[in-house]
Amino acid sequence: MRIVRFSIDGNVAFGAVEGDPLPASGGGTPSGTEGLVVDIMKGVPFADFELSGTKIPLDKVRLLSPVLPNKVVAIGRNYAAHAAELGHEVPDAPWAFFKPSTSVIGPRDPIVYPSFSSEVHHEAELAVVISRLCRDVPRERVKDVILGYTCANDVTARDTQRTEKQWARAKGFDSSCPLGPWIETSLDLEAAGDLAITATVNGELRQAGRTRQMLNSIEDLIVNITEAMTLLPGDVLLTGTPAGVGPLLPGDEVAVTIEGIGTLTNKVISRG
Ligand code: MG
């Protein structure tokens, strides 16, 4: 199931997307919404819910970030080739940091260039959405705490990341965490562990990798994080980015595509 959160006529609801995206006119990547309908959900995806049977074309609604996480836990340097491109060693253990809830935006929402940076980078990442309150999750139970997967962009002020010891501003500014377009719930851990992941900017390929290149697997990361903290329903884990990160400028359109999930597209705008 592909779970979306959306607004229509001022109301916000979850829904399940049906149909297959049509190719964009003239070929290329699918537009993302053409040919799709959303069946409105009664309830929320973290508890018992049913589908109402009331269906709306997806291009008639405004897609929102598929969850409103209490926290986004992100992992640095989880792909060796990305660590190398920034001139870093691979860490011995996962390096976790937070992106605040206020950094989250949805599909098509603008990434607003922060005033303090002149070097903002894209980072395409697989995002894991947590289904239930959990702590000290053993490896064999990891699959039971995952609702599904979505695309993320760990947008980073690279210049600020270099000059400030903590990454709260560099990776936590408003609009630095696009998520979407939906939560794909049909992938198991094995499938999620080997998906193609790409980032394009204005249609030009910048990043291309596979999730099997992660140094720490999804299981490793959830065990590691829940040793330290409780994860809540809707919390999001960003699993690191493959090589090829690079600059974004106002006016650019950045798209993160993950095989079996979909495409998350956002435009970059100037502040003010
Ligand atoms: Mg990252």
Q: What is the DSSP string of 1-51?
A: -EEEEEEETTEEEEEEEES-PPPPTTSSS--SSTT-EEEEEES-TTS--EE
Mean pLDDT, consecutive 10-residue segments, the chain of 272 residues? 96 94 54 83 94 95 97 96 90 94 98 97 98 98 98 98 97 98 97 98 97 97 98 98 97 98 97 81
What is the reported pLDDT for 22? 59
Where, residue-wise, is CATH 3.90.850.10 in the chain?
A: 72-270
What is the reported pLDDT for 23? 58
Q: How far is the CA of 216 from the centre of ligand 1 (A)?
A: 14
Ligand 1 (ion): residues with CB under 5 Å are 123, 154, 241
Cα–Cα dist 241/228, whole Å = 23
DSSP structural state of residue 231: B
Q: How far is the CA of 91 from the centre of ligand 1 (A)?
A: 14
Which class would CATH give 72-270? alpha beta
Cα–Cα dist 133/142, whole Å = 12
Q: How far is the CA of 180 from the centre of ligand 1 (A)?
A: 16
Domain boundaries 2-63, corresponding CATH code: 2.30.30
Where, residue-wise, is CATH 2.30.30 in the chain?
A: 2-63
What is the reported pLDDT for 30? 52
What is the reported pLDDT for 20? 79
Q: What pTM was estimated for this model as a whole? A: 0.95
What is the reported pLDDT for 27? 47
Q: How far is the CA of 245 from the centre of ligand 1 (A)?
A: 9
Q: How far is the CA of 74 from the centre of ligand 1 (A)?
A: 7
DSSP structural state of residue 133: -
Cα–Cα dist 119/194, whole Å = 31
In the numeric block, which tokens belong to residue 224? Answer: 């590691």
Q: How far is the CA of 18 from the centre of ligand 1 (A)?
A: 31
